[in-house]
A and B are shown apart, each in its own frame.
Chain A
Amino acid sequence: MKKLPIRTRLILGAVATAGFIAITAPACAQHQDSIVNPEANVVSEQTLLRQAPRIEGQIDQPNERERVLIQPAGRLWDHFHEVTLHRFGAIVIVGMLAVLAGGYFVIGRLRITAGRSGRTLLRFTAFERFAHWLTAVSFVILAISGLNITFGKLLLLPLVGNEAFSAFSQAAKYAHNYVSFSFVVGLTLIAVIFVKDNIPDRIDIEWLKRGGGFIRSRHAPARRFNAGEKLVFWGALAAGIALSVSGYLLLFPFYVTNIAGMQIAQVIHSLVAVLFVALILAHIYIGTLGMEGAFEAMGTGEVDFNWAREHHDLWFEEQLAKTEVARRQLSGPIAPE
């Protein structure tokens, strides 16, 4: 090639190029002719949405979550949050308050029938009370901050204005995030401490048959925890687990789940939370206003002999049998001092 003059090289190159074009052009033309509809293989939005609820693709940014192009389910979640949840929450919580108020006016405060004996025995140790109150305080903070996210803009925002409400909600969000950990610790302690006394047994059926102590003429038997308390225990445990799992999925966005998982987690979190709040409202009522002598159990830890005899007769006898001194007290009725 070195010896060929430049002109010859140019000619050779031109011939080669022309030859290449001549050979390939018909092939290209044929290829173009065969495509009748340029949209034949094209993806269409509505077709894709019929196949899957979310359209996903590839993106150049190293960000997996951005791969979802369209998810109409966002509108569904909006409807759940703004309509379904508002109605469900209002019905369940206001309904529970109405039931409790009705119970208070119809049945009234459950008094210690025999009056106070003045003698007390230990129902909950200091550590048991610590576990309870750790969970209880955490729960109240979580419940208020959680309800604020859903109902705050309807109930609180009109009263305090945008700036104050946002400042409160911001603090409430952080409280909700951080207090969740102490709630889980408290609930775990409660589960470990009390599980052995909360196993359902045959006495629970008897307790339920006799109206759970709400019917004054019928005594309902119980060990350390009656069927109602067991219901609160297992309800709180189940709700607590559901709330913790769904809550941590939301607290650590995209660590485990994608956007679909987070929507479902939020739905579970909010529905269970509303039910849990209703359950705890009933628990608070019966532990304070609804029954004389009940609060002391978690307050000082000491309950009155007669309260224990009326509400937890089998447990009371067990406890008395444990001490020689107490056994002597069994012989006669306990007179008020």
Chain B
Amino acid sequence: MARMKFLCDADRCIECNACVTACKNENEVPWGINRRRVVTINDGKPGERSVSMACMHCSDAPCASVCPVTCIFSTDDGVVLHSKDLCIGCGYCFYACPFGAPQYPKVGNFGSRGKMDKCTFCAGGGGAEVPGSAEEFKKYGSNRLLQGKLPLCAEMCSTKSLLAGDGEVIAQIYRERVSARGYGSGAWGWMTAYREDIAV
């Protein structure tokens, strides 16, 4: 079994936001929901770097741990999915998430949160819907993994900065890059998400 992970090579990211657009388009997410975003550190200063960030599909995922209705879980591929049928929109996963991944449509009064939405690694949803069905797509977005494809954000990244796939494979790609070009600013978020860094 593969252990699916994301890796953003910040030395290659050009902050084009195409991953953000690709995600929105592929999954037809509602207005106001951003499953993926590009954050630029030290914007306009020397050494500026941009990192594309979404759900990192953590090992021992804190969102799943704190969920009061236990609707979040990890699949055999290490993809963190959730059931929108069980989600009560309490916001706890957002407090626990180290990457700000959970999103909530604003429904009803106050800052009332609707059912949580987040990156599914383009692997459909964690509900009762048939994988690959129209119902699943409507609720959770695309199920590319079922078709043998990887998340679209990474697949169409123009500089191949954003990598998605088996953790061992993408870590090896990153190692080769770093040794070839002689530098690397690190696998952002890996220590927090997977409790391991990529030793080069």
Residues of A at the B interface (CB closer than 8 Å) are 37-46, 48, 55-61, 63, 65-75, 77-78, 81-82, 148-150, 152-153, 157, 162-163, 165-166, 169-170, 173, 177, 250-255, 259, 262-263, 266
Interface: B34 (CB within 8 A): yes
Interface: B186 (CB within 8 A): yes
Q: B-side binding surface: helix, strand, loop or mixed?
A: loop
User: Which residues of chain B are near A157, meaning CB under 8 Å?
Assistant: 69-70
Identity of the chain A residue whose Cβ is nearest the Cβ of B67 in the assembled complex: A153
Residue of B17, B37, B68, B85 touching A66 (CB-CB under 8 A): B37
| A–B complex contacts, Cβ < 8 Å, 24 sampled | A39-B184, A43-B49, A44-B186, A45-B189, A46-B191, A58-B43, A59-B39, A69-B51, A69-B189, A70-B98, A73-B98, A75-B96, A75-B192, A78-B62, A82-B65, A152-B68, A163-B86, A166-B85, A166-B86, A169-B69, A253-B94, A255-B111, A259-B95, A262-B95
Residues of B at the A interface (CB closer than 8 Å) are 11, 15, 17, 20, 34, 37-43, 45-51, 53, 62, 65-71, 85-92, 94-100, 109-113, 182-186, 188-189, 191-192
Question: How distant is the Cα of A259 from the Cα of B94 in the complex, in angstroms?
Answer: 8
Given the known interface contacts A42-B49, A43-B47, A251-B110, the answer about A57 and B96 at a Cβ–Cβ threshold of 8 Å is no
Contact B39 A42 (CB under 8 A): no
Given the known interface contacts A75-B62, A162-B86, the answer about A253 and B113 at a Cβ–Cβ threshold of 8 Å is yes
Question: How distant is the Cα of A157 from the Cα of B89 in the complex, in angstroms?
Answer: 17
Question: How distant is the Cα of A254 from the Cα of B184 in the complex, in angstroms?
Answer: 35
Identity of the chain B residue whose Cβ is nearest the Cβ of A82 in the assembled complex: B65
User: Which residues of chain B are near A48, meaning CB under 8 Å?
Assistant: 41
User: Which residues of chain B are near A251, meaning CB under 8 Å?
Assistant: 110-111
Question: How distant is the Cα of A173 from the Cα of B109 in the complex, in angstroms?
Answer: 13
Contact A59 B40 (CB under 8 A): yes
The list of the 4 closest CB pairs from A to B, nearest first, reads: A41-B47, A78-B62, A41-B46, A74-B98
Contact B34 A63 (CB under 8 A): yes
Contact A58 B86 (CB under 8 A): no
Identity of the chain B residue whose Cβ is nearest the Cβ of A69 in the assembled complex: B39
Supply 16 further A-B pairs (C-beta < 8 A) apart from A37-B183, A69-B53, A177-B110: A43-B41, A43-B42, A56-B41, A61-B20, A65-B100, A69-B51, A72-B98, A74-B96, A78-B65, A78-B66, A78-B96, A81-B96, A82-B65, A149-B68, A152-B69, A165-B69
Identity of the chain A residue whose Cβ is nearest the Cβ of B89 in the assembled complex: A173
Contact A58 B39 (CB under 8 A): yes
User: Which residues of chain B are near A148, meaning CB under 8 Å?
Assistant: 68
User: Which residues of chain A are near B90, meaning CB under 8 Å?
Assistant: 149, 169, 173
Contact B192 A61 (CB under 8 A): no
* Minimal beta-carbon separation of A304 from chain B (angstroms): 46
Contact B92 A177 (CB under 8 A): no
Residue of B37, B67, B109, B185 touching A61 (CB-CB under 8 A): B37
Contact B38 A59 (CB under 8 A): yes
Question: How distant is the Cα of A65 from the Cα of B99 in the complex, in angstroms?
Answer: 11
Question: How distant is the Cα of A255 from the Cα of B51 in the complex, in angstroms?
Answer: 26
Residue of A55, A67, A77, A162 touching B95 (CB-CB under 8 A): A77
Question: How distant is the Cα of A165 from the Cα of B99 in the complex, in angstroms?
Answer: 28
Residue of B47, B49, B62, B111 touching A253 (CB-CB under 8 A): B111
Question: How distant is the Cα of A79 from the Cα of B34 in the complex, in angstroms?
Answer: 27
> Considering residues A58, A78, A163, which has the most beta carbons from chain B within 10 angstroms of its beta carbon?
A78
Contact B112 A70 (CB under 8 A): no
User: Which residues of chain B are near A43, meaning CB under 8 Å?
Assistant: 41-42, 47-49, 185
* Minimal beta-carbon separation of B181 from chain A (angstroms): 8
Residue of B39, B50, B94, B188 touching A67 (CB-CB under 8 A): B39
Contact A153 B49 (CB under 8 A): no
> Considering residues B51, B53, B86, B95, which has the most beta carbons from chain A within 10 angstroms of its beta carbon?
B95
> Considering residues B67, B86, B89, B109, which has the most beta carbons from chain A within 10 angstroms of its beta carbon?
B86
Contact B86 A39 (CB under 8 A): no
User: Which residues of chain A are near B49, meaning CB under 8 Å?
Assistant: 42-43
Question: How distant is the Cα of A141 from the Cα of B183 in the complex, in angstroms?
Answer: 58
Question: How distant is the Cα of A150 from the Cα of B67 in the complex, in angstroms?
Answer: 9
* Minimal beta-carbon separation of A226 from chain B (angstroms): 39
User: Which residues of chain B are near A263, meaning CB under 8 Å?
Assistant: 95
* Minimal beta-carbon separation of B59 from chain A (angstroms): 11
Contact B97 A74 (CB under 8 A): yes
Contact A71 B37 (CB under 8 A): no
Question: How distant is the Cα of A153 from the Cα of B88 in the complex, in angstroms?
Answer: 13
* Minimal beta-carbon separation of B115 from chain A (angstroms): 10
Contact B53 A253 (CB under 8 A): no
Residue of A68, A163, A166, A170 touching B100 (CB-CB under 8 A): A68
> Considering residues A38, A74, A77, A169, which has the most beta carbons from chain B within 10 angstroms of its beta carbon?
A74
Contact B100 A71 (CB under 8 A): yes
User: Which residues of chain A are near B97, meaning CB under 8 Å?
Assistant: 74
